[in-house]
Amino acid sequence: MTTPKIELHVHLEGTVRAQTLLDIARRNDMPLPADTVEGLASLYQFTDFEHFIRTWILTTNCLRRAEDFRQIVVDYAREAASFGVVYMEGIFSPAERVQNGIRWSEMFIGYTEGAVEARERYGVEIRFTPDLYRSMTDFELAEECARQCVRYADDGIVGMGVGGKEQGLSLLPFRRAAQIVQEAGLGFVPHAGESAGPESIIEALALDPHRIRHGIRAVEDPAVLKEIADRGIVLDVCPVSNLRTRVVPTLEEHPLPQLVAAGIQCSISTDDPAMFDTDLGRDYEAAATLGYTAEQAYAAGVAGALDFTGA
Ligand X SMILES: O=c1[nH]cnc2c1ncn2[C@@H]1O[C@H](CO)[C@@H](O)[C@H]1O
In the complex with ligand X, which residue's Cβ is closer, 170 or 293? Answer: 170
| Beta carbon of residue 309, minimum distance to ligand X (angstroms, whole number) | 26
Q: Crossing angle, helix 294-304 and helix 280-289, to 10 degrees?
A: 110
Q: What does the alpha-carbon distance between residue 107 and residue 119 come to, in Å, rounded to a whole number?
A: 18
Of residues 11, 107, 100, the one with CA closest to residue 68: 107
| Beta carbon of residue 123, minimum distance to ligand X (angstroms, whole number) | 26
Residues that bind ligand X (CB under 6 A): 11, 14, 53, 56-57, 91, 93, 96, 131, 133, 163-164, 191, 194, 241, 271-272
Q: What does the alpha-carbon distance between residue 238 and residue 268 come to, in Å, rounded to a whole number?
A: 6
In the complex with ligand X, which residue's Cβ is closer, 86 or 178? Answer: 178
Residue 232: burial class (beta carbons within 10 Å; 0-12, 13-18, 19+): exposed
| Beta carbon of residue 189, minimum distance to ligand X (angstroms, whole number) | 11
| Beta carbon of residue 31, minimum distance to ligand X (angstroms, whole number) | 20
In the complex with ligand X, which residue's Cβ is closer, 89 or 271? Answer: 271
Contact between 85 and 4 under an 8 Å Cβ cutoff? The reply is: yes
Active-site option among 183, 194, 227, 253: 194
Q: What does the alpha-carbon distance between residue 114 and residue 120 come to, in Å, rounded to a whole number?
A: 10
Residue 218: burial class (beta carbons within 10 Å; 0-12, 13-18, 19+): buried
Which residue lies nearest ligand X, judged by its C-beta?
A: 163
| Beta carbon of residue 193, minimum distance to ligand X (angstroms, whole number) | 11
Question: Interior CA angle at 15 toward 192 and 113, to 5°?
Answer: 100
DSSP per-residue codes, 220-245 = G-HHHHHHHHHHTPEEEE-HHHHHHT
Q: Catalytic: 106? A: no
Q: For 190, phi and psi rounded to 5 degrees?
A: -80, 155
Q: Look at the chain and count its residues.
A: 311
Active site residues: 194
